[in-house]
Every structure is written in structure tokens, then in C-alpha cells.
Amino acid sequence: MSLIAPADQQKLRDAFSEMTRPVHLLFFTQALGCETCVQTRGILDELPLLSDKIAIDEVNFVLEPDQAAKYGVDRVPAIAVEYEDAGERRDSRIRFLGAPSGYEFVSLVRAVILAGGGESMLSPAGRARLASVDKPVTMQVFTTPT
């Protein structure tokens, strides 16, 4: 049984149809001691069913520590959003820590569409300002599952 209602599945299919390039969700997980990893896998498994441009790449957090370090992931469940551009894998530098349920799921969907070539929600002025940043910036946005 799907976790997503049929009407919402159709809305998501329509939204994902905007995508022009493949998106990979790197799902960092571990088998033991991670309740929400199972929940997260269940949510993520729904997405490739709604778009052939979305793939889930599972990364074992315990067995592949170098992958976790590469993506700045120090806990699970975590998701890193990547995309393919001209055949090359690129990191969107968008991460999700914790299960993407509730409103976080909407944020994840937006991130997937953006990485997949969809329109930015930012204004041209905002994008120009951000493009001028010349030092590393790490932003953590705290949310709750409501």
C-alpha cells in the first residue's frame, strides 16, 4: 500500500514531469539502531514510482564511512540530493537529516525538482546575490514534522 494518497501521487507525477535530468537521492542508512531509517526508506521508495528520473542510491553508513564523510553526513537517516548534468554526477549540496515526513517531504520534493532542472523559487536578484558568495557557507534549517 502506498504511503501517498492517489490524488497526491498524481500531483507529484505532474510536478516531477517538469524535470529534465536524472536525480539521485543518496540515502544514508544503517540496519540496526535506526528506527526512522526504515520509515525514510519507505517514503523514498515511493518517489521512483512517480518519476523515471528519480533513483534512490542506498549508502551503508557503517560500511561506507568515506562516502558519509564526503557528503558531510555524520548521522542517519540522511539524504544527499545529486543530479546528472551532461552525464556527470553533481552534488546539489542539499541535505536532509532525519526522516522527510510532514512538511519536510514537501521540501524534499522541491529539492528533487530543482536538482532535476526545475525553476528556482528565488528571484533573479536573489540568485545573483548568492552567486557572488566567495566563502563557504553552511546553513542548517531546523524544522519539526508537522
Partner 1 sequence: MAFASPQITAYAVEATEYPDLARKYQVSGVPKTVVNDQVEIMGALPEGPFIEQALQLTSGK
Q: Least separation, in Å, of the C-beta of 93 and partner 1?
A: 4
- The H or E element that residue 115 is part of is helix 103-115
What one-character DSSP code corresponds to residue 75? Answer: S
- Looking at the chain, how many residues does it have? 146
User: Which residue lies nearer to partner 1 by CB, 44 or 99?
Assistant: 99
**Closest listed residue to residue 85, CA positions, set 24, 15, 134:** 24
Contact 23, 81 (CB under 8 A): yes
Site for partner 1 in 80-139 (CB under 8 A): 92-100, 104, 107-108, 114-115, 120, 122-123, 125-127, 129-131, 133-139
45-84 mask for partner 1 (x: CB under 8 A)?
Answer: ---------------------------x--x---------
User: Which residue lies nearer to partner 1 by CB, 13 or 129?
Assistant: 129
Q: Least separation, in Å, of the C-beta of 138 and partner 1?
A: 5
If phi > 0 it is left, if psi is from -120 to 50 it is alpha, else beta; for residue 72 that is: left
Options 9, 30, 36, 60; binder of partner 1; rule CB under 8 A: 36
Cell of 119: 525553476
Cell of 57: 542510491
Which residues are CB-neighbours of 56 under 8 A, at least 6 positions away? Answer: 24, 25, 27, 44, 45, 47, 48
Cross-strand bridge partners of residue 90: 83
Please tell me whether residue 32 binds partner 1 under the rule CB under 8 A: no
User: Which residue lies nearer to partner 1 by CB, 1 or 141?
Assistant: 141
Residues near partner 1, by CB under 8 A: 36, 72, 75, 92-100, 104, 107-108, 114-115, 120, 122-123, 125-127, 129-131, 133-145
